Amino acid sequence: MDCMQLSDLTNENAVCVWLRSGGLECCVVSHYCQYGGSIEDEVAYLERVVDSGYENVFLVLDANACSQLWFSKDARGRRRGEAGRRGETLAEFIIATDLLILNQPSQHFTFSGPRGQSDIDLSLARGWSGTTWSWEIRPNLCHSDHNAIILVAEGGVPQGACAPRPEPKYMMTERGAVLVASYVKTEAEQLGLQSYSELSPSEQVLLLESWASRRVNSTATESLRLEYRSKLGAYKRAITEAKNRDWHRFVQENGRIDPWGVVYRICGGGGAVSDIARISKANTPCRSWSESAETLLGEFFPEDPDSVAPLPLARNGWDSPAWEISEVNSAFKSLKKGKAPGPDGIGNVLLREIWRAIPCFIKVLLDACLAKSVFPIEWKVARIVVLYKGGGKDPSKARSYRPISLLNGMSKVLEILMVGRLNTIMSGLWCEKQYGFRKGKSTEDLLTDLIGMVRSSRSIYVAALLVDFKGAFDFLRWPRMLDRLKETGMHDLEFSLWQSFFCNRKVFVANRGGNLKCWRDLQRGCPQGSIGGPVLWNLALDELLCRLNDLGIPTVAYADDTTCLIQGDSRARVEAGVESVLKEIYGWSEKYGVDVSEEKTQLILLKGKYSVKSRSVRVDKGGIPKWVAYTTEAKLLGCTIGERLSFTTHVLSIREKLSSRLGGLRRVLRKSWGVQDRVACTWIKGIFEAMALYGAAAWGEALRRKDMREELVRCQRMAA
């Protein structure tokens, strides 16, 4: 079944989804008509749904309205009161729009509770040619005051709907992984290392995956899974039955064991993976989940004519050294537990156990990839998980989501080895002004150095240009990246392996059931979530950072967050400097295919004072005028900076952040029960001190003001 939420028809009182099964499409709405609210507003919403263009519409309403039209029984004279007047307005709408009322006469009420009984729930349909409906109230089927209603639609439904077939996912305990690895070892020993070495890399990959998947579904592993599920169910039932008593004990015991464990995660909250809502393309809403998925993938992974044809592999016949056993061992050790698996479903815990069980076979596979300069095509497939950015962003816009690539674990192992060799070559050659993905550098280092450069400048005015790159990692051009890799002087066969890495890559996004997928061939970009992506981005941006700093333009970057300091003794010189810097950036961005978003790029005056109200700087981009606006506040790496290095807003925001986080943790910070004082102190140091003191080396001088010190004292009292 294909399912998609229609965000433009969803609000706090209504959920609207689009469904498709086989050849049938329909729009389904669950709507609460608030009692005491305007029924006219509710009718206006229903008109929008009916006029949305869907042939088949199904509406379920908690209408808070009574009418003989849907067989409301006159309990306590409701048809003559407010519910009756609401019912008259709603009935006029139903008749005017030719909606089919599915309610049937019944001895039971749709609503039955302490506040009385009534028939205020309404089921409506439009379209559904050739469909026969049955409607029945089941009063004892649920615990809600609203009785359950069973609806059955028969006939008129095209055949062809398929049951969801979830992808394999072999996440397991270490005990289960050891057991599966022993089975894999038995299979490998039966085949023999010599026979395995004679296979191609792709055949070796498929054989390894078949061993793991076949043994994962073995009886022994299945028994472990069933045992785990039964214990998990018993645990949940115990929590439900004991309620507050068990919750208190659970907090006290588990909070003592691990301060950052399950208690903190429950109380602190966290983000969740979002499903794809209805996306708009050229201001026109997509009509299906598949169309929305294609629009998202097209926005995230654009085409590049320079990379359409497969890239030739540059081999010169040189012998390439095999991977050192220490390199491979270190690569497997760096695989983190608990990470989501890729399309093959094999988790990192199992991969590490397989490496311990059959290291010779894994080494043969990885050495074959290097010797033949082949990055197996099975490892070039990524599943895209779409995360909604939040913050009030429009869910119908593709750029309101962030794509995360889930790659196979063995793909990451090979990338770790490739990146390790690249880092060895580049050791001591990286630009020191790149603070992202660099050992020994952090966001606070960047903020401190940036503030220091502003304060040490001899110019009257210093403005910061915060450059926003659109889809930075996803837009890098492969031919330009290969040019940069070639310039490093790496071995030809290692370079050929990178060429293989950059061709014939694919991504797909699946619906929640996993039975529907949308695929796209990649022609550019580095997968977000890959091992090589950060290093490759640094390699590309390194060229721009060196160029700007050589021109005397102080520039710092953390990943793709790039900040340039423009200095001058007049506003005209500063703005001329902005235009000059952006021309350099445009030249680099055109070469690497990374576009600059002038709408999100900001310009803020950090030293000196002149009027910037409603003022923008004009720049030419290929003969097209673009504008970069001044701002009085800018957020850089989690720190809010105001004009002339003012951090007042940042200090004031600390209290809001702490209050929000404390609101969740107060559930278990009670006088009579809750986590131990030791756990509370750990939270204070790990959360509140970290949040309050983040970037303090940069904004600490703001505490010279008494009101700023008092604000931090309030934060301290809040946490005490």
Asked if 412 and 301 sit in the same domain, the reply is yes
| 192 & 230 share domain | yes
Q: Quick one: 668 and 631 in the same domain?
A: no
Verify that 293 and 425 share a domain, yes or no: yes
Q: How far apart are CA 283 and CA 295, in angstroms?
A: 12
Report the C-alpha gap between 416 and 366 in whole angstroms. Answer: 12
Q: Which of 253, 278, 310 is the last residue of a domain?
A: 253
* Candidate from 71-75, 241-245, 346-350 with smallest mean pLDDT: 241-245
Is residue 634 in some structural domain?
Answer: yes
Confidence of residue 309 (pLDDT cuts 50, 70, 90): very low
- Residue 614's pLDDT band, with cuts at 50, 70 and 90, is confident
Per-residue pLDDT reduced to its tens digit, 288-303 = 788 888 898 988 888 8
Could you say which of 593, 613, 639 is where a domain stops? 639
Structure confidence at residue 642 (pLDDT):
92
| Residue 702 and residue 611 share a domain | no
Around 36, how many Cα atoms within 13 Å sit in the side-chain half-sphere? 0
Model confidence band, residue 680 (pLDDT cutoffs 50, 70, 90): confident
- Out of 249-253, 498-502, 664-668, give the one with best mean pLDDT: 498-502
Residue 219: the pLDDT is 46
pLDDT exceeds cutoff 90 at 459: yes
CA distance 598 to 618: 10
| Token output for 135 | 């409607």
Are 305 and 407 found together in one domain?
yes
**pLDDT for 310:** 45
Continuous H helices in 269-402: 289-300, 325-333, 348-357, 359-371
In 10 A of CB 338, how many CB atoms? 8
Q: Are 402 and 314 found together in one domain?
A: yes
Q: What pLDDT, in 10s, does the model give residues 328-354?
A: 999 999 998 888 889 988 889 999 999
Q: What is the rounded average pLDDT for all residues in the chain?
A: 83
pLDDT digits (tens, 9 = 90+) for 352-386: 999 999 999 999 999 999 999 999 999 999 999 88
Radius of gyration of the chain (CA): 31
- pTM equals 0.73
Same domain, 421 and 323: yes
Which of 187, 195, 194 lies closest to 214 in space, CA to CA?
187
Domain of residue 684 covers 646-719
> Is 683 a domain residue?
yes
* Distance of alpha carbon 204 from the chain centroid: 33
The answer to whether the beta carbons of residues 457 and 567 sit under 8 Å apart is: yes
- Examine the domain organization and report whether 633 and 670 are in the same domain: no
- pLDDT, one tens digit per residue, over 690-703 is 788 888 888 888 88
Split into its structural domains, the chain has a count of 4
Same domain, 470 and 612: yes
633, part of any domain = yes
Has residue 166 been placed in a domain? no
